[in-house]
Amino acid sequence: MRWSMMATYIIVIATTLVLMSIYIIGVLSENLYENEQIKLFAKANIMADTVLPYISVENTTAIEDYTSQLLIGTGIRGIVVNPSYKVVFDSNKELDGKVLMRDIIKSASEGEQAHTVLKDDTLDNNMMTVAVPVVQKGGGNIIAVIYLVESLVDIDNTIGHVKMNLYLFSGLISILIAFLSYGMSYIVTSPVDEFIDAAKEISKGNFEKRIKVKGHNEFAQLAMMMNYMTSELGNLEDNRKKFVSDASHELKTPLATIKLICDSIVSTPDPAPEMIRDFLGDLSEEVDRLSRIVERLLKLTRLDSGKSVPKLEKTDVCMLLNSVVKKLTPNANAKDIVLYTDYKIENPPPVMLDYDKIWEAIYNITDNAIKYTGEGGFVKIGLSKEGKNIVIQIEDNGPGIPLAEQEHVFDRFYRLDDSRARETGGTGLGLAIAKEAVILHGGEIKLSSEEGLGCVFSVYIPANAEGDVSRQKI
């Protein structure tokens, strides 16, 4: 990229300089030739006026004297031709008395002023010629033609000198531009090289790689975004490793228990039917636990993949909450826990929700509250409205959650009390599933808790929820 940028700069600048040089040389040549043409015509017209009185009387001596005086020191060759194209006077004495036919002489004999530029092969330079008629006063007859010839070697030398200087200047400028473009391309591409090196490291799994942020330009913004992306990839990789480790551990525990039960049955000679029945009961519980883990893992996988699109339908939120309460009332009664509802809004309008997903989210949070609330406690499900959101609150008077642990409660396989969760059949995935389901609807879950004073989980869902469109279209 660096060399291509450098080559591009050089080609553009060199082409510009060449075209500019050609234009300057063209304009200069045209102006110099035009000025010289004007001077020759002026000289020819002066000669025509001067020799006019002597041509009619064919006074060649006077013609020669006056013409020589006008041309002396100019380097111009002067020729006077009569209407019969016979040379009356030649300042070089080469054509005196001879016939001279030229196109511009013919044009001048017809009353026009003519000029041309010729290539002199003998001298290898350009020659400018002009011809003007000598008109008799009064009669208007053309009695002669003044034909002047001048070498343009001085003008051509001047143009050649200017051309050489322009080409030399263009070459020097091109060399300078080459060095400047190399430096500029290095400045521009060096951050790109750093990005490429960082990308290679990241592709190898080195998520600790960071790019130095320099300045406030577009490269600095790109570096900041790439560092942010790397940080997010690192967090994602850490979560993936933790998830694999936790999932392996969770699946290993019931499998180990099943293996132990099977080994115990096999190693016991003539086991009693009651013993087999107890072992099979334990085996069934572990299989159920294993099934719950796998089922919830599959749900989370579908939510993460974006393939789980909410099936929105008009939902009576009060009816949904009453259904959760009815389902969990036996669990609450078993621990002498009062499970009740407290709706701050009466007859709320239907909300567009995926009934099953929100039902499961509220169920998981409420079930979790019942499991961790002590006997004789309470769990309250509230419903209110804040702005454009409906708010479902699940409140309990359980042991609460320490501040340091609150940011982890929605992590997968997280358990505040691992031993109690295993006793109650918890998988550590319920709150994670609840959070994903609420986010899928464009909502959020907030936790408020003080250790020893219980918890309040607040679920915010847009009252006109049509689902998180960005998640649905994945």
pLDDT digits (tens, 9 = 90+) for 149-186: 998 888 888 888 998 988 888 888 888 887 887 777 77
Instruction: State pLDDT tens for residues 101-118.
Output: 888 999 998 888 999 988
**For residue 13, what are its two tokens?**
């600048």
Residue 321 sits in a domain whose CATH number is: 3.30.565.10
Number of structural domains (the chain) is 3
Rounded to an integer, the average pLDDT of 183-195 is: 74
What is the SS3 assignment for 263? helix
Specify if 193 maps to a domain: no
Strand, helix or coil at 150?
Answer: strand
User: 357 and 238: one domain?
Assistant: no
Same structural domain, 287 and 351: no
Q: Which residues lie below 8 Å from residue 419, measured CB to CB, with a gap of 6+?
A: none
Together in a domain, 126 and 233: no
Structural domain contains residue 275: yes
What are the start-end ranges of the H helices in 93-152? 103-109
Dist CA 181 CA 278 (whole Å): 84
Tokens matching residue 215: 């300045």
DSSP 34-52: HHHHHHHHHHHHHHHHHHH
In whole angstroms, what is the distance from residue 446 CA to residue 461 CA?
Answer: 12
What pLDDT score was predicted for residue 119? 82
Domain identity same for 348 and 285: no
Query: Is the domain of 272 the same as that of 298?
Result: yes
Show which of 160, 181, 197 is a domain's final residue: 160
On whether both 261 and 283 belong to a single domain, the answer is yes
Residue 325: predicted pLDDT? 93
Same domain flag for 271 and 323: no
pLDDT, tens digit, 9 for 90 and up, residues 227-246: 888 888 887 777 677 666 66
* Closest C-alpha to 376, from 417, 332, 330: 332
What pLDDT does 415 receive? 66
Q: What is the per-residue pLDDT for 291? A: 80
CATH number (domain holding residue 112): 3.30.450.20
Locate 126 and state its tokens: 């350009």
Higher pLDDT, 98 or 422: 98
Are residues 255 and 281 both part of a single domain?
yes
Percent of the chain, pLDDT > 70?
86
Q: Which of 431, 437, 429 is nearest to 355 (CA)?
A: 437
Determine the 3-state secondary structure of 239 from DSSP: helix
Measured between alpha carbons, how far is 273 from 258 in angstroms, rounded to an integer?
A: 18
pTM of the shown model: 0.47
199 belongs to a structural domain: no
Is the Cα dihedral 74, 80, 86, 89 positive or negative? negative
3-state secondary structure of 378: strand
Is 172 part of a structural domain of the chain? no
Of 253, 274, 303, at which residue does a domain stop?
303
For residues 436, 437, 439, 445, the Cα torsion angle rounded to the nearest 10 degrees is -90
Element (DSSP H or E) covering residue 8: helix 2-55
What burial letters (b/e) apply to 288-297, b meaning 16+ CB within 10 Å? ebbebbeebb
Its domain, for residue 153, covers: 2-160
Q: Is the dihedral of CA 361, 367, 373, 376 positive or negative?
A: positive
* 5-33 as b/e: b if 16+ CB within 10 A: bbeebbeebbeebeeebeeebeebbeebb
Same domain for 289 and 325, yes or no, is: no
Task: With respect to residue 203, please indicate whether it lies within any of the assigned structural domains.
Answer: no
Average pLDDT of 274-296? 78
Q: How many CA atoms lie within 13 A of 11 on its CB side?
A: 6
Report whether pLDDT(77) > 80.
yes
The CA distance from 439 to 429, in Å, is 16
Choose one of 141, 160, 179: the last residue of a domain: 160
Q: Does the pLDDT at position 296 exceed 50?
A: yes
Give per-residue pLDDT as tens, 198-218: 888 888 888 888 888 777 777
Residues 343, 380: one domain?
yes
**Residue 281: inside a domain, yes or no?**
yes
What's the CA gap between 148 and 163, in Å, rounded?
Answer: 28
